[in-house]
Structure 1
Amino acid sequence: MSDAHNEHESAIRTPKQLVAAVIGFFAITVIGIILLVQYVTADKLVGAGSESQTPDAIAARLSPVANEGFTLKDASGPKVLQSAEAVYTAVCAACHASGAAGAPKFGDAGGWSARIAQGYDTLLKHAVEGIRAMPAKGGNPDLDDVEVARVVVYLANSAGAKFKEPAVPAPAAADGAAATK
């Protein structure tokens, strides 16, 4: 029984060791804090918005939103018709490149043969007005009928048709200006 009180002995046995342990603990803690503060403040810290008053930052904030990657289009200007390849890539390829929703693939003679047999006028009517899963003008109402006609010829000819590309009509504004002179 006399050994029961000696079971929980610690490494510190004298008051001198206790004082040394407490001073050592505080010294290590203070050194750790100093090193942590040194690490955090080693780089020049810049607060959020500290560059906000530079001329470049002010100019960027004041520039119109339209200057950031938007192309403004003059609605009253003459319409510039796109090529068949450009319209196909921008609008039609989404379905006709993959065959989505039953669309005949570009260059697939088997998929286009029944459609080509209906004739150019029927193909053009379906492209302009839409048919089954295909929306009118491929879903882009800004396309001119001539652009749609060009794409119809481009797609059909890629599958073996021999359609002639439609002629571009003269601009109406130019005709009106010539008639008034």
Structure 2
Amino acid sequence: MIRILFAAAALLLAACSDNDSSNNAPAAAANQADQRSGALLYRQYCVNCHGSGAGGAPQVGKDHRLYWSHEVEEEGFETLVQEAIHGINAMPPRGNCYDCSDQEIRNAVIYMLQLSAAK
């Protein structure tokens, strides 16, 4: 009986080796969970200018749908993301969120476009 328990324990430990590719899934999920949402970042950083138009920032909201739709169509989504990451005109890089990852900035841009009902 004890031999069977040891054998079962050995099999369980072998199944938990570092070579198991399924061990990467929890790490990837943890990284996604650590990301701040676009809505959170918008409220913490972006709304300061994009909510009021301060410093010439284009405002966000359904009333500004045509502006944002035009930007996406003319400049492209990736250009908007790169401008948010690197800054443009009076906008500082990353909208002053210096610890934001590129993906978090992308999430914030997506959220702003959704708020504006951009097409």
| TM-score, normalised relative to structure 2 | 0.65
Identity %: 36
- Matching residue of 2:95: 138
Q: What do you get for the CA RMSD once the two structures are aligned?
A: 1.7
Deviation per CA, 1:62-118, whole angstroms, max 9, x where unpaired? xxxxxxxxxxxxxxxx78211111100001010011011111111121332332221
- Matching residue of 1:158: 115
Distance 1:81 1:136 in 2: 19
The one of 65, 71, 89 equivalent to 1:109 is 65
CA change 1:111–1:100 in 2 (3 A) is: farther
Distance 1:110 1:98 in 2: 17
Q: Structure 1 or 2: larger helix share?
A: 2
Distance 2:97 2:37 in 1: 15
Distance 2:36 2:65 in 1: 25
Runs (5+) with no aligned partner, structure 2: 1-30
Distance 2:59 2:103 in 1: 22
Amino acid in structure 2 at the alignment position of 1:88 = Y
Higher relative contact order (CA closer than 8 Å, sequence separation 6+): 2
Matched, 1:86 2:43: no
Equivalent positions of 1:1-181 (< 5 A) are 80-107=34-61, 108-117=64-73, 118-162=75-119
Deviation at 1:126, TM superposition (A): 0.4
| TM-score, normalised relative to structure 1 | 0.44
Q: SS at the partner of 2:52?
A: coil
